[in-house]
Each structure stands twice: as C-alpha cells, then as structure tokens.
Chains A and B, each alone.
Chain A
Amino acid sequence: EVQLVESGGGLVQPGGSLKLSCAASGFTFSDSAIHWVRQASGEGLEWVGRIRSKGNNYATAYAASVKGRFTVSRDDSKNTAYLQMNSLKTEDTAVYYCTRGSNTPTDYWGQGTLVTVSS
C-alpha cells in the first residue's frame, strides 16, 4: 500500500524557516518524483514544487510564488523527501501535502501537515 506521511508543520513567525518531511512507503521511492502541493484554508490547491528521481538528475521546479525561498530535496536511502521553507510570509499559511508523481504529478496524496505563519 502506497503511503505518504508528512510531518514538521507548526507555527512560525514571518521571516522564519521550517522544514517539512515526507516519509514514503509501499512503492519504489527512488524511481518516483515527489511534488508538494498546498491549500490555504477555504481555498483551492496550489502546486508548490517538485523533485524528480536520480534518473532524471533530481531536477527541481518551483511555483513562482515560492521560487528562491523554498527548496525541495530528497534522501532516497531514507525514502524521504523534504521541503525547506525560508523567508516565510503570512500568505504561506496552508496545509502542505506531498504527492507521488507517476503517470501524473499526483497519483497518491499524503494526509497533509499544517503550517501557520503568524506573529
């Protein structure tokens, strides 16, 4: 069974940093891209960024709203992906989901972790 479990969310002040983790199981993690998607309360889904597999040179891509502030990485030995978030803004407050990319960018979703940016 494919499982994605996010962790690391919490309350952080504007301008601060936070690192989210996404622990994966039930599939060959090293062959899969991992995407991050967020959802502010009452709003729609917004793609944040992704990291591809080693075979695709660990290529990363980001939404314009987070480029230069957020970094996606992965540790295939731990079946875990990460989202490093720096220079956080109040508008980054959202539930953050990690997803598996296969024949589409998001064929499995985690349960999400809440990030609140507030003073």
Chain B
Amino acid sequence: QLVLTQSPSASASLGASVKLTCTLSSGHSSYAIAWHQQQPEKGPRYLMKLNSDGSHIKGDGIPDRFSGSSSGAERYLTISSLQSDDEADYYCQTWDTGIVIFGGGTKLTVL
C-alpha cells in the first residue's frame, strides 16, 4: 500500500536551515513526490516535484532557498535562511494510476 510518512512537527531558528523528511512506503522507493506549503489560514502552494534521483522542478516563483533531495525511500525538503513566513504546514504528495496520496504534513515552527 502506497503511504507517505511525515513527522508531525519540526522547528528551527530564524536564519537557519531545516530539512523536512517524507518517507515512501516499502516497495515504492522509486516514486516521485511533490512538496506543498500551506501558510496559516491560506490555501496550499506547490513548491516542487522531486524525483527519486534527487532532481527537482520548482513551481513558479519558488525561491532558491527551497531545495529537494532524495535518498532511497526518503524525500527531503531543505529550507535555508529561514524566514518568519516559512512557518507553515508542509505536505508531501505522491501518485499512482488512479490514486493520489498526501502525507500527514509537518508543522514547521520558526523560532
């Protein structure tokens, strides 16, 4: 069964970097994912598509501070030079024929 697992919460200091993790279920380590950001009281925003080889394609206007990487079944979102408006929920997403799956989301707190 295709499942994405995310830690419920993460925190990092203003100006620092943070690496969020999304883990694909067993047998699905070759799958691409997408990362989305949802700031408080706003709709989600697409950040990037991240492939199993670590290559990624960012959405329109997404700053260079956001990057993605992969290792095995793990997919990462790294945010550098953290700003206050990076405080948000971050969701990973994947898909297969006839189905789309979201992870439970990680709530990022910027200290």
Contacts and interface: CB of A to CB of B under 8 A. Distances in A.
Given A45-B91, A45-B105, A106 B46 contact: yes
Interface in B36-52: 36, 38, 43-46, 49
A25 to B, nearest CB: 15
A52 B89 CA distance: 28
Interface in A22-79: 35, 37, 44-47, 50, 61, 63
Contacts of B45: 109
20 contacts: A35-B100, A44-B104, A44-B105, A45-B38, A61-B99, A95-B43, A97-B43, A103-B57, A104-B32, A104-B49, A104-B95, A105-B34, A105-B93, A106-B34, A106-B46, A107-B34, A109-B36, A109-B45, A110-B43, A111-B43
Contacts of A47: 99-102
A61 B43 CA distance: 23
A contact residues, range: 20 to 34
**Top 8 A-B pairs ranked by shortest CB distance?**
A61-B98, A47-B100, A104-B34, A45-B102, A44-B105, A104-B49, A105-B100, A107-B46
The DSSP consensus for interface residues of chain A is loop
Given A44-B91, A45-B91, A104 B46 contact: yes
B59 interface: yes
B59 A107 contact: yes
Given A2-B60, A50-B100, A97-B44, 14 more contacts: A37-B44, A44-B102, A45-B105, A47-B99, A47-B100, A47-B102, A95-B43, A103-B57, A104-B34, A105-B100, A106-B46, A108-B46, A109-B44, A109-B46
